[in-house]
Structure formats: structure tokens, C-alpha cells
Structure 1
């Protein structure tokens, strides 16, 4: 038995007239008669009582009508869900991010905009170590990653920059450089103990400019952990400037670094050949988002 048989049966059960039901179904009355007979043979049950003047449901037909309607309704629902999923209107997107993407507001902006546009899609966002995200995205465990560049990516991944930031210096409040209101030159940091964030590019660029090798004494992971170490007096740290406005810890001060700003990007990373319609919609949104640039 096929869905069309159920549709034929329901139409006749509602019309109780072969000609009207056939017209509603856009088929010939004899064809409808044959189809109903096939259903009754398949079920080994009589569904209609027919006379020259009337058509009526049998008790078995009444019970079968309720179930047939349920099946057709469920099929219509499944069909609608399938179509919506194919358009990316429903589904799930796994998001991975590093802390500085959240501090910068990039993560919140992208997720809130997407949720307004696609309310039927569930977004699941989790923080990950930055070095793990490329592999997780490539393996399909994460769909979109918000990371801080520079980062080496495999050929299967693509990225779109959303924010241009720059690095600054975080120091313990009692540090001699913390008393300065002016910029700190890279050469003044030679010999200092460094607490390295996940993105170490800023640290090594400061060392390159100052012509020294950084003495990294701690690499605790997240930016909050890094700044906590700085607040303990463990060392100084080269961190994204955005944290100055969102993280306020006792015994931590921020100072600009002299010279050309050391730039860093916050970017969305995703698979080049994405197949999920919902994820493709998210990727399209990020690609259409203008880049923001923070001023030193």
C-alpha cells in the first residue's frame, strides 16, 4: 500500500461520493473504484458500504480513517521538516571559540544575528584550546570556529576575518613599567618573564623587535588565566587590546607597545566543502559581515 492509496481512501471517506472524490483527486471515478478495491483486498476488510444511492463507512472503515489521517499528517510533517532542513531553516550548528573572540563581541554578534534570522536552528557554542580547533573542524566535531590569527590551517578549511585587533602589554601593578603612562618599548622587556597566551605571535613579535628571546615562564591557556598569572606577579604578557575593556583584575595594568601596532585578527574558520544547509547559512552570514578594526 502506498500513500496515494491513503489519500484516495480519505478523500472518499470525507466526500462519501465516488464522483466528487474522484474530481477532488483529479482522477476518473472508475480509477478510484479500482484503487479502493485494492485497499480492501490488501487489508482483507470491507471499508465502505455501497448502494446505488449512497456510500458509507463500515466500522472498520471508520477506524482505518483515523489511522490514515494520522499517517498522512505525519508524512506531511516529515516532508515539511525535510524541506526546511534542506533550506537550513532547522538543524544544529556546533560552534567552537577561543576566549578572545567572546571578549571582542564577535561571537555574540554572529550568534545573535543568526538566531534572529534562523530561529529553528540550535546553536551549541563551547570554548576550546585554540590549537585544537582546526582538527575539530576538519573532523566535523565543530562546524564554525572563532579563532585569533595567525594560525596554520589545512587546505580543507577556509576563514573570514571579522575583527582587526592589536596587541598591548599587561603588567603587574607594581612593575616599574606600570608606572609609565607612555608606551613601552620592546627593548625594555628584554629579560622579563613572560606569561604566554594561546596566541603567542604578539609575544614573539615584541621579542623580535627588542632583539631578545622571550623567557616564557608560564602558558596557562585562556586569557583570564593569563591575566590572573600577571596579577600574581608571575610575569608580563602580550595580550589582545580588547581585554582592556572587558577584563578587570586587581593588580593588572595595561600599556601600549611602542612602534607600529602588532596586529591580530579574529576570524571565523569553516570547512571549504560544507554540506549542511544550516552551517552553510552561518558561513554565508560570516562572509557577508564587514570587518571591524579597533583603533590603537
Structure 2
């Protein structure tokens, strides 16, 4: 028996009449009758009691009814699930991000937009040290990840450039240079630099000031960086979006004069991604 036999059986049981059932199914009544007879022959039982006006389920037919309904529902659900997954309308996406993706609002905007359009796709979202993100995407532990560029990527990965922003100086409130509204890069030559995960801003400011930076700890997240600044452990060059998002006691933010350096958030992904749901997320990110 095939799934069509169950559909024929259920239609006849619903209508109690071969002709009306055949009309709904779009087949000839003799064809429908033969299909039901084939079922009865294979099962070795009669499913219907027939007379000229109507047909009624036998005890065997009653027993088959619930199972046939369940079989058809499961088949339809499996078929629909496969079709939706193939179209990228369902599935699971493993997504990693650095904290500045959340501070900028890009992470929230893109996840919210995608989830509204594809509510059946689950997103497993987690903050991850930026140094680990490219390898995790390349190796399949993550499907996509938000990083702060510029950064070198494995050949297997590609990046979509998103929000670009400049850098500012975070310094302790006790610093002697707080009285300046903007700070020449050369005034930072004697400072200890707390390093965020993206160090390009620090290197650019040091080059602008003509000195080798005195490097302090690299604690990881931007909150940890700003915490060390608040404790007087040094200064830090951080993305501009931090100013509005991380306000800690004993920390001030100042622009660095003539600093044109910038960084940008990127969504990294495997270059030849095949998973339909992930492809849809990548396409959605390009449109924002």
C-alpha cells in the first residue's frame, strides 16, 4: 500500500459514498473502488459494508481509521518540513558575536528582522572571544559570526561589511590630560594601553603619535577593558559606540586629534555555504 491508498480510504470514510469521494479526489468511481479493493485484498479484511445508497465502515475499517489519519498527518508534516527546510524557512543557525556588535545595535536589528521574516528558524546566539570566531565558523561550530574588522580571515570565509565607526580614547578620570577636550596622539606616548580584542585603533593612534605603544593587559570584552580603565590601569582606544553604551564611574571619553582610523562590524560566513536557512540569513544581512 502507498500513502494514496490511505487518502482514498479516508475520503470514502468521510463521505460514506464512492461517487462523492471520487469527485473530491478527481478520479473515476471505478478507479476508486478498485483502489479500495486492492487495500482490502492486501489486508485480508473488508473495510466497508457496501449497499446501493452508502458505504459504512466495518470493525476493521474503524480500527484502521485513526491509524490512517495519523499516517497521512505524519506524511504531510514530513513533506512540509522537508520543503520548508529546503527553502530555508526552518532549521537552526548557530550565531556568534563580539560584544561591540550588540553595543552598535547591528546584532539586534539583524536578528529581529530575520526572526520576524522566518519565525520557524531557531537562532542559537552566543558571545564568543573574537579570536576564536573565524575558526569556529570555518570548522562548522558556528554558521555565521559578527566580528570587528579589519582582521585576517581563513580562505574558506567571506565577510559582509556592515557598520563603520571611528575610535575614541577612554581614560581614567584621574588622568592629568582630562582637561583637554581633544587629545593629541603624541600626548599618549607615556600611557599604558589596555587592549581590546580589535587592536587596530591602538596601533593607528600610536603611529599617528610617532611612538611604540606601551602595552598593558588584553582582558577580552569591552566591558572588561573599560573596567580596567576605571581602575586606573591605563587608557584604551575603543570604538565610538562604546561611549553611549558603557558608562562606568571614573571613566571619561575623549577624541584623539586627527585620528582618521576606523573599524567596522562584519558578518563572516563560509564562502560556499549550502544550508538554506544560513543562506537566507546571509542574504538578509546584506539587505540591512
When the two structures are superposed, what TM-score results if normalisation uses the length of structure 2? 0.94
Q: Indicate the residue corresponding to 1:287 in structure 2.
A: 286
Confirm or deny that 1:187 pairs with 2:189: no
- Once the two structures are superposed, residues 124-178 of structure 1 have per-residue CA deviations (whole angstroms, 9 ceiling, x without a partner) of 2110000111111112221221111111112222211221111111111111112
Q: Indicate the residue corresponding to 1:229 in structure 2.
A: 228
Pick which of 163-172 and 22-31 moved more: 22-31
In 1, are the aligned partners of 2:165 and 2:239 still within 8 Å (CA)?
yes
1:1-296 matches, within 5 Å, as 1-51=1-51, 54-181=54-181, 183-289=182-288
Pick which of 241-250 and 53-62 moved more: 53-62
- Once the two structures are superposed, residues 183-222 of structure 1 have per-residue CA deviations (whole angstroms, 9 ceiling, x without a partner) of 2122221132111000011111112222222121211000
Rounded to whole Å, the distance in 2 between the matches of 1:96 and 1:52 is 67
Pick which of 16-25 and 72-81 moved more: 16-25
Rounded to whole Å, the distance in 1 between the matches of 2:136 and 2:13 is 55
- Once the two structures are superposed, residues 34-77 of structure 1 have per-residue CA deviations (whole angstroms, 9 ceiling, x without a partner) of 32222123222221223455432111101211211121122222
Rounded to whole Å, the distance in 2 between the matches of 1:109 and 1:20 is 53
Rounded to whole Å, the distance in 1 between the matches of 2:111 and 2:39 is 51
Q: Which runs of 5+ in 2 are unaligned?
A: none
Rounded to whole Å, the distance in 2 between the matches of 1:168 and 1:56 is 81
Rounded to whole Å, the distance in 2 between the matches of 1:54 and 1:201 is 82
CA RMSD across the alignment:
1.7
Query: How many pairs were matched up?
Result: 288
- Once the two structures are superposed, residues 77-111 of structure 1 have per-residue CA deviations (whole angstroms, 9 ceiling, x without a partner) of 22222222222222222211101111111111111
Rounded to whole Å, the distance in 2 between the matches of 1:175 and 1:53 is 98
Q: Which runs of 5+ in 1 are unaligned?
A: 290-296
Rounded to whole Å, the distance in 1 between the matches of 2:124 and 2:54 is 58
Rounded to whole Å, the distance in 1 between the matches of 2:249 and 2:18 is 84
Q: Indicate the residue corresponding to 1:294 in structure 2.
A: none
In 1, are the aligned partners of 2:185 and 2:209 still within 8 Å (CA)?
yes
